[in-house]
């Protein structure tokens, strides 16, 4: 098979994954709307993420185990949805691998390829977390933006598989961008949790007037706030590594570690915002709405670095392929 044939096959797998994700979205929406909720989850996120943020005794928000999802009645559609999500993730992964075969390199040399691999990272991270905790309530909020991202990728960002510009032909492409892809998936998960926190907090403020709605299936605002913090604390060192690796790659490619190129600048801005988020939580004691807003500002900076810099801001890193 030639390169074009591999690329066509990759596209078919991506479209198949999108179809399955659509079924997942429907199934999990039904499950979230109609599944019952009772009891408490038996596992605290401290068991998994405490290593990135210090001991449990250091965090006043973790005095009690965090409930991460409904532990009671579940619908058949929920089981179907999660099974289909695994299938969709598999199809998605095959599509990304075939794109790499078509291009003869790792599949993240332009915005289209980064979109399909970063969205794959989001799904993969969710499935890994769901193996440890009951995060079914979150599935619909994961698969919907992933489906939208893939739709944008195949309709707007798509470019034919081809060779990289000389500056990208380096083993640092694997090191730097793989760290960025994983970070993107974790930051996306944290951003979704921050949005849910703001909605849930508002819902709890009105709980005396209303006791219905799908948000009853979502953990409390306090629990969402703590989980979002733990994920950011876990991913922040990885993003730091990605920024440093990018600087080392820049020295190899252009003879300088830092040149305030737009993408370098916005990567640093993103780092500063999330550093401020963690600093505010640990030293100032911020939590709740304030830190949720800061986390979303950091994520907005990350998205602008991916979309805005590549499309609108000229620079050495503008590799949109469009």
Going from N- to C-terminal start, the domains of the chain cover: 1-37+73-163, 169-322
pLDDT digits (tens, 9 = 90+) for 77-124: 888 999 999 999 999 999 999 999 998 888 888 889 999 999 999 999
Instruction: Taking residues 284-306, report their average pLDDT.
Output: 91
Q: Are 245 and 178 in contact (CB under 8 A)?
A: no
> Residue 262: what pLDDT?
87
Q: Which pTM does this prediction carry?
A: 0.82
Q: Cα separation of 30 and 49, whole Å?
A: 30
pLDDT digits (tens, 9 = 90+) for 241-273: 999 998 898 888 777 888 788 888 999 999 999
Is the pLDDT confidence value at 55 over 50?
Answer: no
Q: Is residue 51 very low, low, confident or very high in pLDDT (cuts 50, 70, 90)?
A: very low
Rg (CA), the chain: 20
- Please give the angle made by the CA atoms of 205, 208 and 214, to the nearest 5 degrees: 75
Residue-wise burial string across 14-53, b where 16 or more C-beta atoms lie within 10 A, e elsewhere: bebbbebbebbbbbbbbbbeebebeeebeebbbeebbeeb
What's the fold here for domain 1-37+73-163? 1.20.120
Q: Calculate the average pLDDT of the chain.
A: 82
Is the pLDDT confidence value at 298 over 70?
Answer: yes
């Amino acid at each position: 098979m030639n390169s074009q044939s591999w690329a066509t096959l990759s596209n078919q797998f991506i479209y198949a994954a999108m179809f399955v994700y659509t079924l997942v979205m429907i199934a999990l929406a039904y499950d979230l709307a109609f599944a019952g909720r009772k009891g408490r989850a038996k596992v605290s996120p401290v068991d998994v993420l405490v290593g990135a943020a210090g001991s449990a005794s250091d965090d006043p928000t973790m005095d009690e185990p965090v409930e991460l999802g409904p532990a009671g009645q579940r619908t058949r559609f929920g089981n179907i949805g999660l099974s289909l999500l695994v299938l969709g993730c598999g199809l998605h992964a095959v599509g990304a691998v075939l794109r790499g075969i078509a291009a003869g390199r790792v599949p993240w040399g332009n915005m289209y390829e980064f979109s399909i691999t970063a969205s794959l990272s989001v799904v993969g991270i969710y499935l890994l977390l769901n193996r440890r905790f009951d995060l079914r309530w979150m599935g619909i909020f994961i698969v919907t933006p992933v489906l939208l991202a893939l739709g944008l990728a195949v309709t707007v960002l798509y470019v034919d598989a081809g060779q990289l510009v000389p500056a990208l032909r380096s083993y640092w492409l694997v090191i730097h961008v793989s760290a960025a892809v994983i970070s993107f998936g974790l930051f996306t998960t944290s951003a979704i949790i921050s949005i849910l926190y703001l909605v849930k907090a508002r819902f709890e403020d009105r709980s005396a007037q209303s006791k219905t709605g799908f948000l009853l299936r979502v953990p409390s605002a306090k629990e969402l706030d703590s989980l979002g913090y733990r994920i950011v604390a876990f991913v922040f060192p990885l993003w730091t590594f990605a920024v440093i690796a990018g600087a080392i790659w820049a020295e190899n490619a252009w003879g300088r570690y830092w040149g305030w190129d737009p993408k370098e600048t916005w990567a640093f801005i993103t780092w500063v915002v999330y550093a401020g988020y963690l600093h505010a939580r640990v030293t100032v004691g911020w939590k709740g709405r304030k830190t949720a807003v800061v986390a979303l500002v950091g994520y907005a900076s990350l998205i602008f670095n991916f979309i805005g810099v590549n499309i609108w801001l000229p620079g050495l890193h503008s590799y949109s392929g469009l």
